[in-house]
Copies of this chain bind each other. A is one copy, B any other.
């Protein structure tokens, strides 16, 4: 089998941990696999380099930042290759460029445009374990680019796709995907399997195990993705296509996002284009709007609600005030949170959402906003009930079973 491993910053944070990673890679090799191993910078290195740049300016040029930050992954790649060679295994370190990763020209947040796997294929044929510096590529002008925070996950998935690998294993300090945050609900259970779509909903709502873009890419390229721990031998969680088997499961997980602030606009002029105007202005200012809710209007006006991150509430407030001739009254609240229920089974079981509402009502938790998609129900509630709501929902769907 051809397997891609990816080890994050914590997993390669010290020389001893790089030795530990070498042990894992060797075990997979001795089991008869071909291996491509993608590594992040040693934990702390990237932040150290950012601090260095910030000594000179708060807004360093992105092209220079890419050359600066890409060095951390190269160091780890060279060291892991040296560690493997020291133990008698034939390894070769490659930069993103050498691995054939070509990106667009958007520095610090580049998109992978193409991968030329020929150098990797030759090295695999020569019996080498390939160690690739994650998070980076080059653009058509030959300049070094980076893929944004968590970009090494993306490197791993993209290489797995280009090489048609049998699996892509993402190693971190967490041993898989859980039904909810175990710090909130100790009965949280690790999932054996989860679909790409569910994972996307979970990741975007705060499960920090896998970078969202990499899950999207894995779905697109149909890469079998595993979330595993580099500190245990747990088999982790497989993220893959939906299967018939999965549909029996109604709900995979419940998630809490406390970093939410609510904006409610009442009696907004119900004329065409006003919502568009509001959200275009918010987007132009770089604000990330999460939930958006609008009810059907009565008497020529409507109510409009949305959420932003807490730190962006002040900016959102300012923008809203510029619309005050079109808005009856406004209401802002930082003390809210969002609880979400995610599961592919929802699609065909209308009762899932109702079950969530009942669970919260039974505990006297008032629901301020509701938004639903095919596989997700999100509810905005008072922040102080967040953890309680998660535990109640986890119970209601019997996720510990």
**Residues B98 and A52 in contact, CB atoms below 8 Å apart:** no
A71-B76 Cα distance, complex, nearest whole Å: 11
Q: How far is the CB of A181 from chain B (nearest CB, A)?
A: 35
Partner of A60, one of B56, B86, B144: B86
- Binary contact readout A50-62 vs B (1 if CB under 8 angstroms, 0 otherwise): 0011011100110
Instruction: Sort A-B residue pairs by CB-CB distance and give the 3 closest, nearest first.
Output: A57-B86, A68-B78, A71-B71
**Residues B75 and A74 in contact, CB atoms below 8 Å apart:** no
Q: How far is the CB of A179 from chain B (nearest CB, A)?
A: 40
A387 interface contact, C-beta 8 A: no
**Beyond the given A19-B56, A53-B82, A64-B78, could you list 12 further A-B residue pairs with CB under 8 A, ordered by the A residue number?**
A52-B79, A53-B78, A56-B85, A60-B85, A64-B81, A65-B82, A67-B74, A67-B93, A68-B75, A68-B79, A70-B74, A71-B75
Considering residues A60, A75, A85, A143, which has the most beta carbons from chain B within 10 angstroms of its beta carbon?
Answer: A75
A49-B61 in contact given A56-B86, A95-B144, A97-B142 (Cβ < 8 Å)? no
Contacts of A65 in B (CB 8 A): 78, 82
Residues in A72-101 with C-beta less than 8 Å from chain B: 72, 74-75, 77-79, 81-83, 85-86, 92-93, 95, 97-98
**Residues A67 and B78 in contact, CB atoms below 8 Å apart:** yes
Contacts of A68 in B (CB 8 A): 74-75, 78-79, 82
A15 interface contact, C-beta 8 A: yes
A71-B42 Cα distance, complex, nearest whole Å: 14
Q: How far is the CB of A134 from chain B (nearest CB, A)?
A: 14
Identify the A interface with B (CB < 8 A). Answer: 15, 18-19, 49, 52-53, 55-57, 60-61, 63-65, 67-68, 70-72, 74-75, 77-79, 81-83, 85-86, 92-93, 95, 97-98, 119, 133, 142-144
Closest to A100 in B: B142
Q: How far is the CB of A107 from chain B (nearest CB, A)?
A: 12
**Residues A74 and B71 in contact, CB atoms below 8 Å apart:** yes
Contacts of A15 in B (CB 8 A): 52, 55-56
Q: How far is the CB of A57 from chain B (nearest CB, A)?
A: 4
A290-B67 Cα distance, complex, nearest whole Å: 42
Copies of this protein in the complex: 2
Partner of A49, one of B70, B75, B83: B75
Q: Can you report 16 residue pairs joining A to B where beta carbons are below 8 Å apart?
A: A53-B79, A53-B82, A56-B86, A61-B85, A63-B93, A64-B78, A65-B78, A67-B95, A68-B75, A68-B79, A68-B82, A70-B74, A71-B71, A71-B74, A98-B142, A98-B143
Closest to A73 in B: B71
Say whether chain A's binding surface is mostly helix, strand, loop, or mixed.
helix
A292-B355 Cα distance, complex, nearest whole Å: 94
A18-B68 Cα distance, complex, nearest whole Å: 14
Considering residues A55, A65, A70, which has the most beta carbons from chain B within 10 angstroms of its beta carbon?
Answer: A55
**Residues A82 and B97 in contact, CB atoms below 8 Å apart:** no
A81-B56 Cα distance, complex, nearest whole Å: 10
Contacts of A64 in B (CB 8 A): 78, 81-82, 85, 92-93
Considering residues A18, A68, A78, A133, which has the most beta carbons from chain B within 10 angstroms of its beta carbon?
Answer: A78
Closest to A83 in B: B56
A155-B31 Cα distance, complex, nearest whole Å: 45
**Residues A82 and B95 in contact, CB atoms below 8 Å apart:** no
**Residues A82 and B61 in contact, CB atoms below 8 Å apart:** yes
Partner of A81, one of B55, B61, B83, B119: B61
**Residues B71 and A57 in contact, CB atoms below 8 Å apart:** no
A74-B66 Cα distance, complex, nearest whole Å: 10
